Amino acid sequence: MASKLLRQTLTKTYTTAVIRRFSTVAAVASPSEYEDPTGITMKGVKISGRPLYLDMQATTPVDPRVLDSMLPFYLSRYGNPHSRTHLYGWESETAVETARAQVAALIGASPKEIVFTSGATESNNISIKGVMHFYKDKKRHVITTQTEHKCVLDSCRHLQQEGFEVTYLPVGSDGLIDLDRLRKEIRPDTGLISVMAVNNEIGVVQPVEEIGKICKEFNVPFHTDAAQALGKIKVDVEKWNVSLMSLSGHKIYGPKGVGALYMRRRPRIRVEPQMNGGGQERGIRSGTVPTPLVVGIGAACDLAMKEMEYDEKRIKGLQERLLNGIREKIDGVVVNGSMDRRYVGNLNLSFAYVEGESLLMGLKEVAVSSGSACTSASLEPSYVLRALGVDEDMAHTSIRFGIGRFTTEEEIDRAVELTVKQVEKLREMSPLYEMVKDGIDIKQIQWAQH
């Protein structure tokens, strides 16, 4: 009913407007003020239409079924879930608890172990700073990896400024940590080990179950940032032996602005709250719980439980279609990160003898990125790729293709066509590529400085 009302409102408002077809989810939306009959102009760039979307690690479109579940809590059931004296509050509270159970079910946890937050960044901050502050008298050491999301690395740097010690584990060329090295770095005062489950830039899946066993052996709490794993690979908090897990709504076709934190009850993990207020969410995360957003992440988790297996098979086929399509037509294409332990929807490629920024600018009709959306404003090569030992010139040419639930074969074929065309165009202008074709080993050349 709510979605029907919204659809009618939008249709009335924009009856004379030209509605452009979206590249992923067919939806009715207001035409952009930047659009004109000859194309779209934004930030000085003009393209013929909306680009096809292959940046699913940055964010995903909201599944229309998720939106349907959210809309009533914007339009008619708008009560505060903490209001205990009337129907509006009761029905919102019931909806929040239903969503809590849906999130818990997807990761094999109890609903009592789920705390709603604004997203994975906040969950990571609560986990890392909250645990270490709570146990600061006895625990002064944290272990993490060099390829974590920026919010984990920045939280660790914040702790270092407070006098804590942090060990940043290196990774191999495949992006995976060395378990023996992890074991050796554990100290009596190690208070937390934080390792991302699925990397946001290169998609590698860390051996979290083995890491969990090591943490259990040494009785050290284990935190994992599972924002890129939730709903994409099977997550089981018991098998993984995690104490804390950070989750995000907008990576699984849910809304932005909502996430969750799993906190183990037995054995109980304690944190110092990072926000003071009314004591909501057991005092760990004060602030009014946003019912529509929480309903959205719950619905997204429920859909993921039902469709994850189907999505994975379909996305794997699209990933193979993309990689094979590019490799059949051009050489010098390198996959960054392990191909064996990898989430299939993430394909990070480097193209030899191509300047990265030029490649991105040339792919205006394809929405892709050169790395994490949180660090994409930087012109420095990805710190994740540098940690893998990728040469700086190859790190500069990396493109991350993110494939998802609504990606089509036609979009993959078009992405292959445009990528190949742009790489070939840039290589034609590259003197280095000409030298390589002539059989010259450019790594042996001694370049003179002027």
Establish whether the linkage from the previous residue to 170 is cis, with ω within 30° of 0: no
Q: Whose structure tokens read 């995360």?
A: 285
Of the residues 151, 215, 301, 374, which is catalytic? 374
Minimal CA–CA distance to 7: which of 33, 26, 34, 23? 26
DSSP string, 31-82: PPTTEETTEEEETTEEESSPPEE-BTTT--PPPHHHHHHHTHHHHT----TT
One-letter amino acid of 100: R
Q: Which two tokens stand for residue 34?
A: 């930047």
Determine phi and psi for 298, rounding to 5 degrees.
-65, -45
For the question of residue 151 being annotated catalytic, the response is no
CA angle 256, 259, 264 (to 5 degrees): 170
Using CA atoms in the order 294, 200, 204, 254, what is the torsion angle rounded to 10 degrees? 20
For residues 71-96, one letter each, b for 16 or more C-beta atoms within 10 angstroms of the residue's C-beta and e for the rest, the string is bbbeeebebebeeeeeeebebbbebb
Asked if 196 and 145 count as a contact pair (C-beta separation under 8 A), the reply is yes
Cite the active site residues: 374
